[in-house]
Amino acid sequence: MEAITVLIVLPVAIGAAAEIMLRDPSRASLAAAVASALAVYASLHHLDPDGTWNALATFLVSPLAIAFSLATVLACHGHLEGRRRHRRRVA
């Protein structure tokens, strides 16, 4: 259950918070990516005080967390719907 929280729920919350706070998709994406990677590192450090997981483990699992946070930013901003073509009116 902790793995689902760290790898899915936490990055989704970070991505939503970044989009709400910044409102600019490029800045929110950067903030969400950095914050989710740091959150994964902090969570692994907190949940494993013995140190069996290290920075390499964080490096290997952080792309999943970053992907969830970026997808959340784009979903909140509305980019997942795709571009709509505007029809030109012929007068």
- Is 33 in contact with 69 (CB distance < 8 Å)? yes
Q: What pLDDT is attached to residue 33? A: 96
Q: What pLDDT is attached to residue 68? A: 96
pLDDT tens digits for range 24-82: 889 999 999 999 999 999 998 888 888 787 778 888 999 999 999 999 999 988 765 55
- pLDDT-based confidence at residue 84 (cuts at 50, 70, 90): low
Does the pLDDT value for residue 23 go beyond 70? yes
Neighbouring C-beta atoms of residue 48, cutoff 10 Å: 12
